[in-house]
Each structure stands twice: as C-alpha cells, then as structure tokens.
Amino acid sequence: MINILQNHLSEFISGFGITLLSSVIALVLSLVLGTIFAIMEVVPNKGARVIARIYIEIFRNIPLLVITMFFYVVVTKIFAMSGLTAGTIGLALYTSAFIAETVRAGILAVDSGQMEGARANGLTFWQAMQYIVLPQAFKIVIPPLGNQFINLVKNSSTLAFVAGFDLMYQGNEIASTTFDTINTYIVVGIFYLIITLPLSYYMRYLEKKLA
Amino acid sequence: MKINKIKILMLPILMIVSTLVLTACGQTKSSSSQNQLTTIKNTHQMVWGVKADTKLFGLMNIKTSKIEGFDVDMAKEITKRIDPKAKPVFVQVTSQTRIPLLKNGNIQAIIATMTITKEREKIVDFSKSYFNAGQSLLVMKGSKIKNTKDLNKKGTVVLGTVGSNSVLNIKKVAPKAKVLQLQDYAQALTALKSGQGDALTTDNGILYGMSEQNPQTRVVGGTFTKEPYGVAIDKGQTDLKNSINKAIDEIQQDGTYRKLIKKWFSNVPGFDWRELLND
C-alpha cells in the first residue's frame, strides 16, 4: 500500500485535486440552484411551481451517469466541454434536485405563523423569505444537507466514466497498470475519506452551534 | 431416521458415479494428445474455435444463426486443403475461453483474432501469421490527423480504453498527446463522434469494423505496432501445424487470400484493402 502511494503519489494528488475542485464547484452551484428551485416550489405563483416540479422530477429520477453522459456526448456538440466540465455540471444539477426537496421540506417545517407575522409587520413576501423563513429553514435542514454534500463528494467518482481525471479515474488507471487492484482502491478510499470526514464533522459542528 | 439412512447410503453411490464421470472426462482429454491430423482425416471434420462477437472476423449472423467473417472463411479454406472431404465445425470462443478449450480437446484449432506472442507460445503452438494486425488510428472524416506524427503535438487528444495495451503504446509513440481512457470501445467511439478526442486507437481489425458501421469515420496511418494473427494448435501437433502452414501458403499463392481480404475489407470506407496484402 505504501509502495503504491509512493510510486503514484503525483497521480493520486492530481486526482485528489480534481475531485476536490469538482466537488466544491458542484456544491456551491447545487446549493444555489437547489435553494432557488425550493423557493419556486413554495411561491404563490402556479407557473413557477410547475417549472420547479418538472426540473426536480427530471434530475432527481435519472441516474447521475446518464445526465453526465448526456452532457459529455450530446451537449458538447453545441458547447464543447471536457469530461471534467460535463461531470461537474451533471453533479451540480443532479444534487440540486435533492437539495431543492430538502430545503423545501425545511421551509414547510417553519411554522406558517412566522410568514404571516412578518407580512403583518409590513415585510414583503421576499423580505419575509430572506430574513425570517429561510434562516430558520436552513437551521432545520443542516443534517440532511450534510448527507447531500457527502453524497455529492462520493458521486464525483462518475467523472471517471467521462475521463475527468479525478481520483477514481487515476485509481482505475493505476490499478490496471500495476495490477495491484486492492491496495490501489484502499488508497483511493482513504483519499475520499480525507474530504468527506472533515465535511461530516463540520456539518455536525454547525448543527450543534446553531441548534 | 429413515431419511438419514437413505442419505448415508446415497453418499457412496454418488461418489462412485462422480468418479466414473471424472474418469470418462480424463479419457476424452487423453484423446487430445493423439495425432489430430489423423483424427481429422478419419472423422472428416475439423473443429475450430472462432469469435462470434467481432465484426469482420467472426460475427454471429442473427438471421441465419451462422458465424461469418474473415477468420471463419480462412478456417473453411484451410480445412478444405487439409482434407477435401472434411467439414469445418465452428465453436464459439472468447479471449478467455479459447486456450482452455483447445487444451481440453474440445476444439482442434483456434482462429480467433489471436495475436502470436511469446507468452502464448509457451502454452500453444502457432501457425505462420495469416493476418497482419497492428495498432492503428480511427479519426473523423476530414480530420487533419493522418498518422501518429500528427498526434504528437500538445493539445491533441487520443481516446482509448482503460487498461489496454494500446494506451501504453500510444503514450510511447506520441508522448505529447493527452490520452483519455474510457470504459469500453462503444464509449470511446461515442466520445470520438461527439468531438471529445481527435483519434481513437486500438487494433486495426476492430477499427475497420467500427469504420464500416460508421461511414463518417476513417482508419488512417497504417499500423504502428506489429500484432500478427496466427492459428493456434495444441503443443506437439507438428503434423497438423505443418499442414496448416502449407494450406496458408497455398491460400496466399492461388489468389484465394486476395479474394477473402477483398470480400471482408473492401467495404471499409476510405480504406484501401490492398494495404493488407503487403507484408
């Protein structure tokens, strides 16, 4: 195991960097998109609700690999994109559908009296959303959001299927050239833990701090 | 209790039966060490292992449920020349099963896109090469890439499959090009067609098959590695090996080889099948 790590350190590190980069971009994008679609699902406008539902049902119910392959082989004919870009976009869209549902649940869990009270005090719907409802909603959904983020980091391994040069891709290549499959994937697993464990603990810390 | 007694009685019976079955297997196996050439001439049939999933070389025709391809036609011609009365029998093999089947005596010869290598020569004997395979390049029609030299530039992208030898070879031949490894040939071809790479690399035989099915692609630059295909037979079958070699010589000299190459490779778009005739 130490041998594999020493001989292929640069490949592992570059794969680790790509996985981290892709995860961070996808995390930010999916959080923004997810929140937008969650709000669209609860606004009084019927058109917005329908659009949000269609978006969420499409991306929540198609396998991530299919979405990623769609961007890699179809969308690329219009906008040329590398495997890394296609994979990150696929990851962001896929996760955003789950985050939208999570945040929507959070918004609905905030007592309706909060919104009514805010409106009665002269705030507009958007102001009430921004200052009163969303902060409380996010506090409620921190644990399930943490799950989504951890899943996102692990799902970034689909980049390997579109030659995204991530950790899994490097792992596959090292395993197939050295034939030391078991040790290679153990090292790959440890590198994933380096990202997911601190993330997991940070979410737990946030939960305690805000509760 | 009665049932238990029956079970105990069954055990030795089962053992005897299985011993008999296994001995029978051993007997068939020992027949494979007989002179195969005499067996072929006595039984008037020759059992070949062929691929059934490789376009142009050996592919199952779903309509007729017969295996068709260059390898199959070569096998028919060789059989005809060894014993004019003999009929070729085709058994479907894969890269994993062909050597065990040959060693076990289920088949008498392998003609299944099998490259002659030193490692394999330790286990089986090979005839002389009947097809000059080698690694080549597949590009989209109108591509600027004509050979491996054009690939060896910064910014060019070559597609291959994970863990294949062809990927290691291309890294040596064109070290400046970026190599993307995809999961299988279908995915690599899709990636080439959607513009994710400039060229796809693997054995020329596989590329010809892809090109015939996808007329917008071209095989270019000839071969840059040598991977000659040969007929494999069991060790010690020198008589059979000599007569196969003689048959291959005859096929090449009397124009049959040219006819077969033309039959199978003249439909590959943008490719001159005559290239395959030059040694």
What pLDDT is attached to residue A181? 84
pLDDT, mean of residues A170-181: 85
Same domain for B195 and B165: yes
CATH number, residue B89: 3.40.190.10
- pLDDT tens-digit readout, B172-219: 899 999 999 998 888 899 999 999 999 999 988 889 989 988 989 999
- Number of domains making up chain B: 2
Answer yes or no: do A73 and B196 touch at CB < 8 A: yes
pLDDT, mean of residues A35-55: 95
pTM (2 d.p.): 0.73
Same domain for B163 and B249: no
Residue B255 corresponds to which tokens in the numbers above? 């124009």
What pLDDT is attached to residue B260? 94
Same domain for B188 and B127: no
Which residue among A73, A80, A173 sits closest to B191, beta carbon to beta carbon? A73
Same domain for B126 and B139: no
Look up residue B147 and give its DSSP letter: S
The residues facing B66 across adjacent strands are B61
pLDDT, mean of residues A113-134: 94
Of B203, B220, B237, the one marking the end of a domain is B220
User: Is B279 within a domain?
Assistant: no
Answer yes or no: do B195 and A80 touch at CB < 8 A: yes
What pLDDT is attached to residue B30? 42
Instruction: Give residue B182's domain range.
Output: 135-220
Chain A contacts of B181, Cβ < 8 Å? 163, 169, 172-173
Same domain for B206 and B140: yes
Q: Which is nearest to A101 in space by CA: A48, A60, A51?
A: A60
* B182 and chain A in contact, CB less than 8 A: yes
Same domain for B125 and B246: yes
What pLDDT is attached to residue B7? 65
What does each C-alpha distance from B106 to A185, B22, B49, B102, B142 come to in angstroms? 39, 16, 9, 6, 47
- pLDDT tens-digit readout, A191-203: 999 999 999 999 9
CATH number, residue A163: 1.10.3720.10
Residues A23 and A202 sit within 8 Å (Cβ to Cβ): no
Same domain for B168 and B245: no
What pLDDT is attached to residue B28? 45
Chain A contacts of B186, Cβ < 8 Å? none
Q: Which is higher by pLDDT, B24 or B152?
A: B152
Sign of CA dihedral B147, B153, B159, B160: positive
Answer yes or no: do A163 and B181 touch at CB < 8 A: yes
For the ranges B12-16, B156-160, B254-258, the lowest mean pLDDT is seen at B12-16
pLDDT, mean of residues B132-140: 91
Q: What is the mean pLDDT of chain A?
A: 94
What pLDDT is attached to residue A70? 94
Same domain for B210 and B165: yes
Q: What is the mean pLDDT of chain B?
A: 86
Burial pattern A178-200, b for ≥16 Cβ within 10 A else e, equals eebeebbbebbeebbeebbeebb
Answer yes or no: do A172 and B194 touch at CB < 8 A: no
What pLDDT is attached to residue B166? 85
- Number of domains making up chain A: 1
Query: What backbone torsions phi and psi does residue B162 show, to the nearest 5 degrees?
Result: -55, 130
Same domain for B65 and B41: yes
pLDDT, mean of residues B13-26: 59
Same domain for B263 and B191: no
Is residue B23 pLDDT above 50, yes or no?
A: yes
For the ranges A128-142, B74-88, B176-190, the lowest mean pLDDT is seen at B176-190
pLDDT, mean of residues B252-257: 92
For the ranges A14-18, A60-64, A188-192, B267-271, the lowest mean pLDDT is seen at B267-271
pLDDT tier for residue B4 given thresholds of 50, 70 and 90: low
Same domain for B244 and B207: no
Q: Do β-strands B157-161 and B58-61 pair in parallel, antiparallel, or remain unpaired?
A: unpaired
User: Is B17 within a domain?
Assistant: no
User: Is B182 within a domain?
Assistant: yes
pLDDT, mean of residues A89-118: 96
What pLDDT is attached to residue A18? 96
Which residue among B183, B193, B195 sits closest to A161, beta carbon to beta carbon? B183
User: Is B153 within a domain?
Assistant: yes
A163 — alpha (psi -120 to 50), left (phi > 0) or beta? Answer: left
What pLDDT is attached to residue B26? 47
Same domain for B238 and B126: yes
Instruction: Give residue A92's domain range.
Output: 2-210
